[in-house]
Structure formats: C-alpha cells, structure tokens
Structure 1
Amino acid sequence: MSTRSPFSPFLLLFFSFLLTSHAEIRYKEVRSDSRSIIPFDEFGFTHTSRLELNLTGVAVSEPDADLTQLGFFLCTRDSWMHVLQQLQEGDIHCALESNLIKLVARLSSFKGASFFNTPYDVNDANQFALVFANCLAPQVSVSMNVHSAMYNLEGKNPQHRDYLSAGSAVLPRVYFFLFLVYTALACLWVVVLYRKRLTAFRIHYFMLALVLLKALNLICEAEDKSYIKRTGTAHGWDVLFYIFSFLKGITLFTLIVLIGTGWSFLKPYLQDREKKVLMIVIPLQVVANIAQVVLDETGPFTQDWITWKQVFLLVDVICCCAVLFPIVWSIKNLREAARTDGKAAVNLMKLTLFRQYYIVVICYIYFTRVVVYALMTITSYKYSWTSVIASEFATLAFYVFTGYKFRPEAHNPYFVIDDEEEEAAAEALKLEDEFEL
C-alpha cells in the first residue's frame, strides 16, 4: 500500500494555467524532486499519434524502494478529477492504479538498465497531459533525465510527423496570413504619412514602428511554429520571436500611454506623473517578457513554474491598469479646459475622442485577457486555434481603430468647429454640470 497520497493541487493549477500546448521535443532534468505529481507537457492527439519517452540517469533516494510505485501516465483534465475522487474515496491508493489513466511506463521496467526508451501509441483522439507519479513515502525523491516527444502521424507513414498539437496545426498559416495583413497595413500607413507629411506628428511614426514590429513578430512566430511542426524543435526562431514580442509589447503599452496623455496631439511634452507611468510600465514589460520566456522554455515540470505564471499574470494586469491612468487624466484636463478657455466645442470634441479611446482600450484589454482565456477553457482542444484568431483579430481591430481615429489630418473633423457647434457644446456642458449637481 502506498503511504503517499497522489492528490496534488499543483496538477490542478497546471491544468488551469496551461493555455497552450508547446508540443515540441523536450529534454528535462529532474533533480531530487519529491513531489507526488510532476506534470510535463500537454498535447492534443489525433487517432494516429505517438509518445516517445526516453529516460536516463534514473536515481531514487531510497535504493530499496518499490519502483512499481513510480511511473508515467497520460491523463485528460476530466479524467484527473475522477482519479482524485477515486483516491479520496479509497478505491485506489496510487494514481498509477486507476483505470482512467493511460499507463505509459513504470520505473520498475528501468531497473538494472542505464537507458530506457519506450514508444507509446495513442489511438484516442483527445488532449492528454504527460504526468509522472511518485506514490512512495513523501521523503523519497527522484532524479532522472527525461526526453519526451509527442507527435501526430500524418497518414500511415511514420516519417510524416506533426509535432504541433491537433488544435495548433493550422497556426503557421494563420500567423503568416496575419503577417501579410500587417505588412499591407504598414505599407498603407507609409502612404498616409507621405501624403500627410506636413501634418504628421512623431507619434504617427511611432505607430508605424509598432505595426512593423507586430508584422516581424508574426512572421517569426509563423516560422517558429512551422519549424516545430516539422522537426519538433525551434532552433533559433524562438529567439527572434521573443525579441520582437518583447519590443512589440513595450511599444504597444508605450503608445497607449503616449496617446492617452495627448502627447503630440494636445501637447509636445510629458508631465512628471506621465513619465513615471512609463517608468513603471516599461520595466514591468521587461519582467513580463522574462516570465514568458521562462514559462515557454522550461515547461510546467519545474517547481517554480506556477510562481512564474502568477508573476506574468500579475505584471500583465498591472500594466493594463497603469496605461488607463493617463487617459483618465487627459479626460479630466479636457473637461476642465472646456469650462475655462472659451473653446468649449473644440475641447468637447477632443473629450469625446479620448472617451471613445478609453472605452476601446478597456474593451481590448478585457477581451484579450478575459474573453480569450474563457474561450480557451471552453473550446475543444481541436479548435484551440480559434482563441488565437479571436485574440489576433481583436488586436488588429484595436490597431485599425487607433490609426483611423488619430490619423494625421490637416482639417481633422474633431477639431473643425463652427459657431453653432460652439454654442451647442457650451449648452451641453452647462446641462452636464446641472445634471451632476
């Protein structure tokens, strides 16, 4: 009988936090790890799939330990909840005994060997997590080198391997298509800047830089996914992807702050408090990108994976909240200016524009952080690509809205006001003040 309960909140957190399946060939070093459950990667299998598991350097802290209590298995999210129920009700004493899992290998098969390699064919189309179970006493730790490869077979030919999860196989084409879209947008914006060069501000060229970085990020991600699909490894493309993703993230948040402060549109400089927002947002983006690299490269098997995931989510939320403050400040300043400088209509139109932008920024943040996450959790693993498309099209719509509303114009309709509109705006402000009172 096992003395250790395999119930592990870590695996539940793993299932709740893991939003994508990396699916590339991975090499992991486990050193003196005493966790009862060590989750590795998650992968969407088709009806013709395979897992290749290669172990070397296996060592247990107790030489006479029962190695049948140590092993690898595949498990779906729903099945794991039922396994936990079996454990709590005493029907089983180790997760490896459950009939709801797919047992891949026990370490007893490795006894006396310096090298262990087992191919495991998966014929059930579903999304499975590769998990290691240690059902020995809590003080017993395990060390090993784990080389795993999960892939789907295209047809009957074992040479035609697809190392991308079933729900991610179409992503290379999706990212390449979006790269073409952003390239076209960049070309269009260059034409606009050339034709309106006399009325273009520095922030308009900053917008062009953001679109170009987004396009470069997408082409690198398309090539990265395509290379992983064929070979199972990234081989440098992931480095370029991280670089452009880092630059794009910083540029996007900086642009939102600059537009929110009215830089170039309302004033040529930033106030101290607005500079402080940038000084907060940019370092946080550095931390967020470091956390993202750690999450992608190490996988969820490491003991501090959950910590890095929480750091990333916390930093992302702080950045999203921080960029809203400058917009609120601009709206407040415009409201005050509309009552004092005698240009009620002009400031009211500017106020309307910034209010619209404030709402759009909130909707963009809410959709890409909350709605997309919900879509990931409720969508079948076979259609996980739909959440990527939803997020990318929301981003595209946000970019188009920002470019259109803040495009360079000699006679911007928001700033061209006649006498009748001036009087109507003043009356509207008066009514608004009375309503607030």
Structure 2
Amino acid sequence: MSPPAILIILLLTSLTTTTTAEIRFTEIRSDPRPIIPFDEFGFTHNGRLELNITHLSFSQQTSPDPTKLGFFFCTRDSWLLVLQQIEDNQISCALQSNIIKHVSDIPTDSGTTNFNKYYVLSDPDQYTLVFANCIPGLQVTMNVRSSMYNLDGNSNTRDYLSAGITVLPRIYFTFSFIYFTLAFVWIWILYKKRLTVYRIHIFMMVVVILKAVNLVCEGEDKSYIKRTGSAHGWDVLFYIFSFLKGITLFTLIVLIGTGWSFLKPYLQDKEKKVLMIVIPLQVVANIAQVVIDESGPYGQDWVTWKQVFLLVDVVCCCAVLFPIVWSIKNLREAARTDGKAAVNLMKLTLFRQYYVVVICYIYFTRVVVYALETITSYKYLWTSIVAAELATLAFYVFTGYNFKPEAHNPYFAVDDDDEEAASEQLKLEDEFEL
C-alpha cells in the first residue's frame, strides 16, 4: 500500500463521525498490509489504552524481526511528517520515527501467541491507533481487543467516549425532547384543523416522531458506550430507527416536491420511479453505514464501503430534487394556461423556496458539517454535530410551517386583485427571461 493510500485511509477515518472508539474486538487474518489503522480517539491528560493480542501467528516459519512489527499512536499532522521522513529516506519504517508514540512491539518468539499491553498517554490530542508491518510479504494473523478511554480527574471513572464527543448523550437527549415537543404541537395542530388535514400531514407527523425516537436511541447508545465501552444492543435500535428516519425523510421530500396530496392525489410514473430509486439506495446506504461503524478502518473493505456510502448519499440527495424541479416547471406552465395565475404563482413561489431550502439543507449537512469536523479542534467535535442537528431542526420547522393544514388554503382562494397582480408579475418575469 502506497503512502498516499495510507494517508487517505487515515483522513477518511477522521471523517467518520459515528466512530466512538468503544471497546473493539478485531480479527486480522493473513493480512499483508503495511499499515492497519484502528480507531481514532481524543485523549485528555488521563488517557489509557488496554491492548490484548491473542492467536498471533505469521505466514513465514522463521521468527520475523520484532522491531519491524508493532503498534503506535499518531495524529494526522504527525503522520504527514512520518511520510515525509520515509520519502526522504530518513527512515525505512514508521516504527523508527521519533514523531510517533510507540505503544508496543510484537513478540515474535515461536511460542508466543498472546500478550497484553497497558499504555498511559498524558499528552492530550486526537490519536489514531495504528499497526505497522514493515516486513514486505509477511502476513499477520491475530485477534485484537483494543480499549481506549479517559479517566475522570476526580473519581477515576472511565469515559469510553472521545474527548470531543463525550457530551453527545446530553445533546441527543436534548434534541429528542425538542422533537417530541414538536410532535405534540403538530398533533395538536392536526386535531385543531382536522377538517383540512391531508394524508401528507399525517406522514409528516410520522417523520417527526421517528426522528425523536432515533435521537433517543442514539443518546442511549452513546450513553452506554460512555460508561461501559459497549452499546448493549442500543446500536441495533439506533440502526433500525435511523434507517426508518432516513427513508421517511427522503420520501417526504419527494412527496412534497411532487405536490402529492396538496396539488394532486396521485403520483405520476416518473415520480414513482424516483421513489423506487431513493428507497433501495437508502437501504444500501444504511447497510454501508452499519459496516463502517461496526468494522472500523481496520477492515480491508472499509474504504470501499465508505465510498459506497458517500456515493449513494449524494445520489439520493440529487434524486429528491428532480420532483421539485418538475413541479416548478408544471406550475409555471399552468400559470399561463388555466386562468388562475395568482393561485399557481403562489404555489410556484412556495415550491421555489422549498427547492432552495432543500439544496441548502443538503449542502450544509453534507459539506459544511464535514468541513467543520476537519477544521475544528478535536475537543470541540460535538459542535459539528450540534450544527447538523440545528440545520435539520430548522428544515423540519420550515417544512411544517409552510405546508401546515389551513382552513382557508391560499392554494385555492384568490380574488380579482390578486389575479391581476399575479398576471402582471408573470409578464414581467417573461420579459426578464427574454
């Protein structure tokens, strides 16, 4: 594996927001990779690593050089310097660098198959645990149990969440309370205006409830990991509700974008095809997310699954925009032909706004949030998650407010003055386009 490829792996590791560096059990089988990155973790002044290696074996019969096999810690910045040292022929193996924090060599005596290492780390920073194999062609087999945690300064309680995300349980529980409150308010609105409620409004209520439950499961997941290093099954519930939340949210955007229930009680064939594309892609995206979270970057196919997840997510985000574009085009044509310019102009303006908001929401949660993770200090990684949740909350509130049930729906009521004003505006828009 080339140094640039290794650097890409480490960078992708740093962009995995759901990695919590819990206690990991990893099986390495006949692996020839020169570098195997494990979890990344933000340590405080009281950082600890417990490393347990079992069933250690090598592909060659003779005992390999123990100084060329071992575990070490490095930051992203230090790894760049290590690569520079290798390229300048200052060192031939990463384990020889004076920049890394050497954790342990691998005992290569023929009778040694198990060993343990307890490592104290007092320099706070974001580190990646890495295994280096500097013997070309040597295949390594071993079972690795890695446990990284920080000790509380007063009680010596173990905290298995990285220093930058240790506050996540409280954050997720806070947002779940907000969403449950929104769900209650929405149910009250639907009951109060039940005569003007469409099926889409019921679907919107389901989306909000699923989001709230998903945040509860994610909060419990992180809370258990923080205390014990294991999710105790809460990760399964989190994956289930995350899957349901993702599918329902993308489906809601498509349904609103097509005008279903608001403008028409049915979906056209091309709109159904969009749903038939988005839903299976969301299934693939969630499978990829589970593999990424559960295997970690030490898995040989981890980079592939990471690329699959990013690609599928981008395709889904692009696909949901097409129905909104189609609705805007159809409304614009209808505004010139059916004699109801004001009504259609009102719909057209709203759908234009929604199109812009969807693009901003996708851009912020997919691009800006990752940028924040990259530039933010490891101690404040939680801020990028708060930013993403605030953007999602704003998107939910905007959608609910603009598409709430109305007793006098502006889509269907218009007076002569509005009609005349709308016609003039359409003429000005046509002249501007010409």
TM over 0.5: yes
Letter in 1 for 2:426: L
Range that drifts further, 406-415 or 51-60? 406-415
User: Matches of residues 11-22 of structure 1 in structure 2 within 5 Å?
Assistant: 11-19=7-15, 20=17, 21-22=19-20
Letter in 2 for 1:83: V
Any conservation in 2 of the 1:54–1:116 contact (CA below 8 Å)?
yes
SS in 1 for 2:3: coil
1:249 aligned onto 2:249: no
Letter in 1 for 2:271: E
Q: Could you tell me which residue of structure 2 aligns to residue 62 of structure 1?
A: 60
Change (3 A) 1:31 1:303: same
Aligned with residue 28 of structure 2, among 24, 27, 30:
30
Q: CA deviation at 1:35?
A: 0.5
> In structure 1, what is the Cα distance between the partners aligned to 2:273 and 2:427?
35
> In structure 2, what is the Cα distance between the partners aligned to 1:109 and 1:408?
71
1:299 aligned onto 2:296: yes
Change (3 A) 1:38 1:11: farther
User: Matches of residues 162-177 of structure 1 in structure 2 within 5 Å?
Assistant: 162-177=159-174
Any conservation in 2 of the 1:6–1:94 contact (CA below 8 Å)?
no
Q: Could you tell me which residue of structure 2 aligns to residue 106 of structure 1?
A: 105
Question: Aligned pair count?
Answer: 431
1:366-401 CA distance string (max 9 Å, x none): 000000010000000000000000000000000000
Q: Could you tell me which residue of structure 2 aligns to residue 272 of structure 1?
A: 269
Q: Could you tell me which residue of structure 2 aligns to residue 73 of structure 1?
A: 72
What residue ranges of structure 2 are gaps of 5+ in the alignment? none
1:283-324 CA distance string (max 9 Å, x none): 000000000000000000011100000000000000000000
1:41 aligned onto 2:39: yes
Q: Could you tell me which residue of structure 2 aligns to residue 324 of structure 1?
A: 321
Range that drifts further, 338-347 or 12-21? 12-21
Letter in 2 for 1:313: L
1:51 aligned onto 2:49: yes
Using the aligned pairs only, state the percent identity: 71
User: Matches of residues 17-416 of structure 1 in structure 2 within 5 Å?
Assistant: 17-19=13-15, 20=17, 21-64=19-62, 65-108=64-107, 112-137=111-136, 139-155=137-153, 157-158=155-156, 160-413=157-410, 415-416=412-413
SS in 1 for 2:52: strand
Q: CA deviation at 1:411?
A: 1.1
Moved segments of 4+, more than 4 Å: none
Any conservation in 1 of the 2:179–2:211 contact (CA below 8 Å)?
yes
SS in 2 for 1:35: coil
> In structure 2, what is the Cα distance between the partners aligned to 1:406 and 1:85?
56
User: TM-score, normalized by length of structure 2?
Assistant: 0.97
SS in 2 for 1:409: coil
Q: CA deviation at 1:424?
A: 1.0
SS in 2 for 1:39: strand
Q: CA deviation at 1:14?
A: 2.8
SS in 2 for 1:29: strand
Range that drifts further, 51-60 or 101-110? 101-110
Range that drifts further, 315-324 or 427-436? 427-436
Q: CA deviation at 1:206?
A: 0.2
> In structure 1, what is the Cα distance between the partners aligned to 2:421 and 2:268?
32
> In structure 2, what is the Cα distance between the partners aligned to 1:294 and 1:66?
34
Q: Could you tell me which residue of structure 2 aligns to residue 430 of structure 1?
A: 427
Q: CA deviation at 1:416?
A: 3.5
Change (3 A) 1:316 1:110: farther
Letter in 2 for 1:181: I
> In structure 1, what is the Cα distance between the partners aligned to 2:119 and 2:61?
28
